[in-house]
């Protein structure tokens, strides 16, 4: 930095003050003004020096912010495109395409003998092959004398060979594709879940390798309520899952009761005369409780009438009879 230009004003003022004793008194009043000018010049080099001083580079501040990483989509399931884990079976619907050879593109269903028919290649047995294996087989056969470096794609449009029937006390009974490994509860869930009228067991009808029929029973209470994993069996293709509904019997209660009607009760829970009248809301004030009648139709069509003293039943003096299906309980009115 050149300091010579900053010393010049001091030299001039210094000379003025040195010779100020020889000037008249009236001119000495200029001293305060000169002193003020001196002070301003004294501050000037500092400002000039500040202007020449290079500024320090600003520090870049980085804020740590959480970066939302996009969650990668799950890999496409082989169930959606007929992946390598799936073995083609009878009645499966296949879509076969050969790149740039539209004449060979076709949609074909696997016959019951496990074979399909393709242009140029004729009959091919495809049952038991995976999608990749079938693609390689078709490509090798075409490359032998028809297409150079063929690009073959196989898409399984319908998985007919891997279906399971779910029927009985479920909300949506029907036939469902068993894509991949499925358990008993998963197939029942696919059928909408269990219905309110379900029984106490699930029956699976299955055919073994020799086409012999097999019956498997699963305790529904242990499977669902006790959550026993050993009973959540792996389902096999062509299984029939049957959820029996509760077997109910009909009981008619009429006469001097508060709610005369037809009542359906589970067969597994025996219904007595007292219980049937209780279901009907109990007797009215005009009921003749000593003359309750049970009207029953036997298997041969004959009719039988039994009388029950309800008061004795309530007091434990008489056994409470168990009703049979389609029994009619008549509570007559008394005469007062």
Does the pLDDT value for residue 27 go beyond 60? no
Q: Which residue has the higher pLDDT, 36 or 318?
A: 318
The CATH number of 80-158 is which of 3.20.20.80, 3.40.50.720, 3.30.1180.10, 3.30.1950.10? Answer: 3.30.1950.10
Q: Identify the weakest region by mean pLDDT among 7-21, 271-285, 306-320.
A: 7-21
Residue 270 pLDDT greater than 60, yes or no: yes
pLDDT above 80 for 278: yes
Per-residue pLDDT, averaged over 119-136, amounts to: 92
Query: Average pLDDT for residues 167-187, to the nearest whole number?
Result: 89
**Confidence at residue 56, expressed as pLDDT on a 0 to 100 scale:** 52
What is the DSSP track for 84-124? TTPBP-TT-EEEEEETT-GGG-EEEEPPTTSEEEETTTEEE
Report the percent of the chain where pLDDT is more than 70. 74
For residues 32 and 3, the model is more confident at: 32
* Domain range 248-331, its CATH number among 2.60.40.10, 3.80.30.20, 3.10.560.10, 3.40.50.300: 3.10.560.10
pLDDT of residue 72: 40
Question: Is 303's pLDDT higher than 50?
Answer: yes
At residue 313, the pLDDT reads 92
Q: Is 9 helix (H, G, I), strand (E, B) or coil?
A: helix
Residue of higher predicted confidence among 39 and 162: 162
- Mean pLDDT confidence for 196-209: 87
Read off φ and ψ for residue 71, nearest 5 degrees. -75, 120
Q: What is d(CA 125, CA 87) in angstroms, rounded to the nearest whole number? A: 13
pLDDT band, very low/low/confident/very high, at 64 (cuts 50, 70, 90) = very low
- 47-54 long-range contacts, CB within 8 A, separation 24+: 48/6, 49/1, 52/1
The percent of residues above 90 in pLDDT, for the chain, comes to 49
Q: How far apart are CA 240 and CA 207, in angstroms?
A: 10
Instruction: State phi, psi for 179 to the nearest 5 degrees.
Output: -90, 110
Mean pLDDT, rounded, for 279-289: 92
Predicted TM-score (pTM) of the model is 0.51
CA distances in angstroms from 109 to 87, 120, 152, 322, listed in the order given = 14, 18, 17, 58
Provide mean pLDDT across the span 14-27.
49
CA separation for the pair 194, 221 (Å, rounded): 12
Task: Identify any residues that bridge with 217 across adjacent strands, giving them in sequence order.
Answer: 203
34-41 mean pLDDT? 55
Superfamily of 163-243 according to CATH: Outer membrane lipoprotein wza domain like (3.10.560.10)
Lowest mean pLDDT among 38-47, 95-104, 253-262: 38-47
When pLDDT is cut at 50, 70 and 90, the band that residue 77 belongs to is very low
């Amino acid at each position: 930095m050149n300091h010579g230009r900053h010393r010049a004003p001091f030299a001039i003022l210094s000379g003025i003050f040195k010779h100020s004793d020889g000037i008249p008194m009236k001119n000495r009043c200029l001293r305060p003004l000169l002193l003020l000018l001196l002070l301003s010049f004294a501050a000037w080099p500092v400002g000039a020096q500040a202007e020449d001083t290079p500024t320090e580079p600003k520090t870049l501040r980085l804020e740590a912010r959480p970066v939302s990483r996009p969650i990668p989509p799950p890999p496409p399931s082989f169930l959606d495109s007929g992946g390598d884990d799936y073995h083609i079976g009878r009645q499966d619907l296949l879509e076969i395409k050969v790149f740039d050879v539209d004449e060979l593109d076709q949609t074909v269903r696997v016959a019951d003998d496990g074979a399909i028919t393709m242009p140029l290649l004729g009959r091919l047995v495809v049952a038991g092959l995976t999608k990749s294996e079938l693609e390689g087989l078709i490509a090798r056969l075409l490359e032998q004398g028809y297409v150079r470096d063929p690009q073959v794609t196989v898409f399984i449009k319908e998985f007919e060979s891997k279906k399971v029937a779910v029927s009985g006390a479920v909300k949506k009974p029907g036939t469902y594709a068993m894509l991949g490994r499925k358990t008993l509860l998963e197939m029942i869930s696919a059928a909408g879940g269990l219905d309110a009228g379900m029984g106490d067991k699930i029956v699976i009808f299955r055919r073994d390798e020799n086409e012999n029929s097999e019956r498997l029973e699963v305790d529904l209470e242990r499977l669902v309520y006790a959550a026993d994993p050993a009973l959540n069996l792996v389902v096999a293709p062509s299984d029939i899952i049957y959820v029996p509904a509760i077997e109910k019997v009909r009981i008619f209660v009429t006469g001097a009761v508060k709610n005369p009607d037809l009542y359906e009760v589970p067969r597994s829970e025996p219904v007595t005369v007292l219980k049937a009248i209780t279901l009907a809301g109990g007797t009215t004030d005009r009921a003749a409780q000593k003359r309750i009648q049970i009207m029953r139709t036997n298997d041969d069509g004959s009719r039988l009438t039994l009388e029950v003293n309800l008061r004795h039943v309530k007091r434990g003096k008489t056994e409470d009879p168990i009703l049979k299906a389609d029994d009619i309980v008549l509570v007559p009115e008394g005469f007062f």
